[in-house]
Structure 1
């Protein structure tokens, strides 16, 4: 690469030809380590990998392995859309900011086909928290509304401890998303771990606050036996 660069070529991509998957992964890892440690800077260019053998599923699996081990460009011998989904997922996870939690959009989500008599509950916009709640509500087969409050992608307890989840943030979220227009009743189910905020939340919203279970796994039983 140094000789090529000396000739005035700046756009350089490295390719490892005629190597098996194992050898390519080992070589790519070694090349990246040598470049980052300034041991051999000529390896500090993007790498391209060609995957043309095997079934579509095999190519997709090999491509994900290459993406995880420093191949900047991966070329496959397929155009099947489903083969690119795992590659895009891997790339998005690798290049996401670990200090910025994965979030869902703060809004009201309708689970099933809720009506004016369906339960309303809230959770935070931390994706893992939301999808856990959503999954258990779906499993209960009780059509419901889930209000997702913007807590900057933090979980319920973390948000409450950092004062990102309080009676004001919940009341503001309810007003912003017109929750009162969705249902006839005025009952709000809150996470069991923040039961302590029920009094102030009731004053801030003028809604009846129902303390839900601490664990999502108990949501189904709660919705069938406690919610009325």
Structure 2
């Protein structure tokens, strides 16, 4: 958010010190507004002109644009920081896979269904592709409209419609306007026609230009035509050029509060080498694309990109934790092992996955460590013998198994003796790395 000082706000107030805002003076009220402790509307005497001026000044430096509708609506932009550790990134990059209208109907259906399957579960969260970008590569507007119709029927994902022809886009919008697709892309040659379509169908509009200066000029012209929901689409020549332009745009929007580029940014990634395409897309997820359109639709390509996105768009000040409780993997019985781990989500789901891979039913006793992993929790005195014994006893699991054995992570083998003294159980030291769990359970575990 653009930060206004108390003095700047005070200049727009009536300066009567009437007290109707429940503060003794207009200056005191202005200071509270600047600190975001009260809203400007608490003063009943602020003029309409003052409200408009302060509202514009306090508007977010980057507009939030909605792509799609209903439960599948996606938020683009609205970011407030350059670096994640300063606060957090708010709206995860939308990943869209390209389909071209030159494909036959059966090829289109096959590709769309393949894209629909690009969903994964990682550390207990569903991650996946968010959108399909239908691109016109033929000169046949009807063929493009048919491709859009198929996509609208065959996928619940958000849609990006890419065509240089306003008439072809209008025909496509007649089919799927309720899905609120992104129109791609307005240029200096067609901006009036594209702006008219975006305004008529209430769709967000991508704006394409070769230079950042031209991009800023176009956004102002389109905004003057009544279209507010814009997505910047700079021309990119290689990874270095793209990284430089996206960084410049983010800095101009957030540091300089340059409203003409205060919009989310999209990039289109193409590369003959699938590994290179994945590397490009991953880079732009990190810096600073709100939408990445790509060709690759293989699971091996998408999982690394989605994993990076999942990691980047988490709050670094809030640990990613699971509930501390007793979990069952498979159908464990009285002779099944009892393993201990922390409630850091990545640790827990890694351990759970390796236990599943072993095909040995087991119990996992999760200790509340504030979302820290094994070593960090041990160093912070949150994974102690007392904490482990207290948690295991509260779950009552040692009364359910016949062996009275507890498997602790190898990284905290030093706690073995103390846990045995406090709990009265036999403590076994498991592998240091989760990858060693399957072999341990198959070859070393004995009830």
Q: TM-score by structure 2 length?
A: 0.40
Instruction: Check whether the contact 1:133–1:216 (CA below 8 A) recurs between aligned residues.
Output: no
Does 2:393 correspond to 1:171? yes
Q: Secondary structure at the match of 1:161?
A: coil
Query: What residue number does 1:161 align with?
Result: 381
Partner deviation per Cα, 1:119-147 (whole Å, 9 max, x = no partner): 42312122455477679989999986442
191-200 or 130-139: bigger deviation: 130-139
Structure 2: runs of 5 or more not aligned: 1-218
Query: What residue number does 1:205 align with?
Result: none
| Count of aligned pairs | 217
Match of 2:429 among 198, 208, 212: 212
Instruction: Check whether the contact 1:136–1:216 (CA below 8 A) recurs between aligned residues.
Output: no
Instruction: Check whether the contact 1:125–1:154 (CA below 8 A) recurs between aligned residues.
Output: yes
Structure 1: runs of 5 or more not aligned: 203-207
Query: What residue number does 1:108 align with?
Result: 327
Q: Secondary structure at the match of 1:184?
A: coil
Does 2:263 correspond to 1:9? no
Superposition deviation, residue 50 in structure 1: 0.9
Superposition deviation, residue 49 in structure 1: 0.6
Instruction: Check whether the contact 1:16–1:49 (CA below 8 A) recurs between aligned residues.
Output: yes
Which whole-Å CA distance do the structure 2 matches of 1:33 and 1:135 have between them? Answer: 41
Match of 1:99 among 312, 317, 323: 317
Instruction: Check whether the contact 2:405–2:428 (CA below 8 A) recurs between aligned residues.
Output: no
Instruction: Check whether the contact 2:344–2:369 (CA below 8 A) recurs between aligned residues.
Output: yes
Does 2:365 correspond to 1:147? yes
Superposition deviation, residue 88 in structure 1: 1.3
Higher relative contact order by CA 8 Å / sep ≥ 6: 1 or 2?
1
C-alpha spacing 1:216/1:128, structure 2 compared with 1 (3 Å): farther
C-alpha spacing 1:216/1:143, structure 2 compared with 1 (3 Å): farther
C-alpha spacing 1:97/1:77, structure 2 compared with 1 (3 Å): same
Q: What is the correspondence of 1:1-228 to structure 2 with a 5 Å cutoff?
A: 1-38=219-256, 40-104=258-322, 106=324, 107-108=326-327, 110=329, 116-127=334-345, 129-130=347-348, 145-156=363-374, 158=377, 161-162=381-382, 165-172=387-394, 174-175=395-396, 178=397, 180-181=399-400, 183-190=401-408, 191-195=412-416, 196-202=418-424, 208-210=425-427, 212=429, 216=432
Which whole-Å CA distance do the structure 2 matches of 1:109 and 1:2 have between them? Answer: 58
Which whole-Å CA distance do the structure 2 matches of 1:22 and 1:84 have between them? Answer: 22
Over the aligned positions, Cα root-mean-square deviation in angstroms equals 3.9
